[in-house]
Amino acid sequence: MRDFHKTRAGFVGLGNIGRPMAHRLASADAVELWVHDIAPEPVAELSAAGATTAGSVAELAASVDVLSVMVRDDDQVRQVLAEVLGAVGDRADGATLTVLVHSTVGPQTPAELAAAAEPHGVRVLDAPVSGGPMGAAEGTLAILVGGAPEAYAAARPVLEAMGTKVVHAGPAGAGTRLKLARNLLHFASFTAATEAQRLAEAAGLDLVALGDVVRHTDAITGGPGAIMHRESTAPLAETDFWHGVFGHVAALGEKDLGFAIELADELGVEVPLARIALDRLGPGLGIPMTEQTEQ
């Protein structure tokens, strides 16, 4: 017999991140979990953890209140949603189904999915995650949500069982756009890290030690997130508090980037990102280039 004090959650897509996310739901007091995947092993594992197994996406769609989808790409998400929409007429209680798309999809896909689902009475939220398998296992993911407030409210017990930073970013697509902006920083930073490694290697330095230092100091300063406190990217007025802060950051950054480029030239290492950063750091922080030159 169903416990109506619990949110009945479904999960499809039990891969490297989906499986630990589902485990967090299986252990949540406020959630009753149902799962489905084409691979039998993770389904058996979640069943042993207390989840109810479903033989198909259609069975999940007919049975749960909130359905999490964590599959590979846009095409698979569309396929899952098509199966969901084909089965919602079989829901016994007539309650609205909310679908959470945790996969990172194209920027236009969430609105397309929401529009396709609306005539069927199904609400779709894009809810991509950040934090990787470790965050999924620990229940500390950031979950970035786009969609209607009432759908977000219905899904909150499920979202909060899987993440400690749940952000309702705005309407459909806002969660995905926030994730794409976050990942632009993530992977551009990785590319910059490979450039720094090449410079360190050419200088005869220990690359593992460099990585240790980066992780240590980023844990203290916040890394790139340390500059992300303004509500605008517009140029800063001299009377703005951040003008003095970022003016100092820009001056220090230009000095150190200049020295790093000088070392790279001496060692014959190509550092194109460092040269772009030297040119764009100040203006990106809101400090006009003319002020950079004067400093």
Please identify every residue annotated as catalytic: 179
**Distance separating alpha carbons of residues 125 and 142, to the nearest angstrom:** 15
CA distances (Å), origin 191, targets 51, 127, 185, 188, 271: 41, 26, 10, 5, 11
- Give residues with Cβ within 8 angstroms of 50, minimum separation 6: 26, 27, 33
Q: How many residues does the chain have?
A: 295
Burial of 239 (C-beta count, 10 Å sphere; 0-12/13-18/19+):
exposed
CA distances (Å), origin 257, targets 190, 202, 270, 276: 17, 17, 13, 10
**Distance separating alpha carbons of residues 135 and 35, to the nearest angstrom:** 20
Q: Reduced to 3 states, what is the DSSP secondary structure of residue 178? A: helix
